[in-house]
Structure 1
Amino acid sequence: MTETAADSSIKPEPFHASIMQIEPQWIDYNGHLNMAYYNVMFDRAIDQLWLKLGIGPTYMKERGGSTFTAECHVRYLREIHLGDPVQVSVWLLEADEKRLHTFQELRHASEGWISATSENMSLHIDMNSRKVAPFPSDIRERIGAVVKAHGAVPRPEGIGRNIAMPSKR
């Protein structure tokens, strides 16, 4: 996938990354996908969306900007095994001049059930100073269009959850 300008036909649906296959070395001694590799697949999906937004590797090389993850909350809901095809859907929930709030669902690509979710806050970084900096105006426009499109669909369950022990009754 190449880095492109904004698509004039942004659809009111989450971004759907390419279907991925579980790699054999990602399976742990429990016989399922090791927790670290869920993040690898979430990251690969975000990279695909970033290319669509024009903030991938070319952007970093030519314009000196990139994104760093500031916070991540992953929920593991159902096991994934070797041979399972998976696809990540990404919602760009909110954005401001320096931050992107995303939510992702990892689904079994042929059966449709959710295996895991990941909610993230990413920061725009000026790679010369390695400090948080505003997105350029053209990128902010592109991001705004995607936030608007993704806002037109129901928000998935699980956004904004925190980690806590179940309350005693």
Structure 2
Amino acid sequence: MTTPFTSPPMQVEQEWTDYNGHLNMAYYHLLFDRAVDAALVPLGLGPEVAAETGASVFTAQAQVHYLRELQTGDSVVVETRLIEHDSKRLHYVQTMRRVGEDEPAAISENLVLHVDLNTRRVAPFAPEVLARIADAVAAHADLPLPKQVGHRVGLRRD
């Protein structure tokens, strides 16, 4: 079990930039979404498993913190750390960085639900998947959490 799960490098495409000259917010989500497979596949939750078993995960909640601008040609990696789980849900955080840099460009905190694709209802993880998730959560327990985890959206009151 890798700690944390790390995506292969991904490159920011020209057509993903907006009129402000930087990566549009929608494409941060695209990069985070592509990167989560680096964690889901070894857990037994990847796209092939969804096709074979009719079970997958749906995002119930996501919060992204945009910390540094990214531009065309930037190469990024995403680390995924599992935080906690129960029989039907998985809470994780992803940290996006430019390749070779320590400072995060963005942080994405997510809660996903395990879903039976036939009924489109939340269902328990298969026992072997739940065991892998538990192992990964334990392996990731000592990794530092980004300070953004658990923060709510809102204005500070002065």
User: Does the alignment reach a TM-score above 0.5?
Assistant: yes
- 1:159 maps to amino acid: V
Unaligned runs of 5+ in 2: none
1:56-95 matched pairs, under 5 angstroms: 56-95=46-85
Could you tell me which residue of structure 1 aligns to residue 102 of structure 2?
112
- 2:121 maps to amino acid: K
Unaligned runs of 5+ in 1: 1-9
The separation in 2 between residues aligned to 1:55 and 1:22, in whole angstroms, is: 26
List 4+ stretches of structure 1 deviating above 6 A: none
Q: 1:163 aligns with which of 125, 133, 153?
A: 153
Cα offset for 1:73? 0.5
Indicate conservation of the 8 Å contact 2:93/2:108, yes or no: yes
Q: Could you give the per-residue CA deviations for residues 36-72 of structure 1, whole angstroms, max 9, x where no partner exists? A: 0000000001122111111112211221100000000
- 1:71 maps to amino acid: Q
Give the TM-score normalised by the residue count of structure 1.
0.90
Give yes or no for the alignment of 1:131 onto 2:121.
yes
The separation in 2 between residues aligned to 1:117 and 1:38, in whole angstroms, is: 10
Q: 1:50 aligns with which of 35, 40, 54?
A: 40
Give the TM-score normalised by the residue count of structure 2.
0.96
SS of the residue aligned with 2:96? Answer: strand
The separation in 2 between residues aligned to 1:91 and 1:158, in whole angstroms, is: 14
- 2:111 maps to amino acid: M
Q: Could you give the per-residue CA deviations for residues 112-151 of structure 1, whole angstroms, max 9, x where no partner exists? A: 2211111000000001101000001000001110000010
The CA RMSD measured in Å over matched residues stands at 1.0
Indicate conservation of the 8 Å contact 2:6/2:38, yes or no: no
Number of aligned positions between the proteins? 158
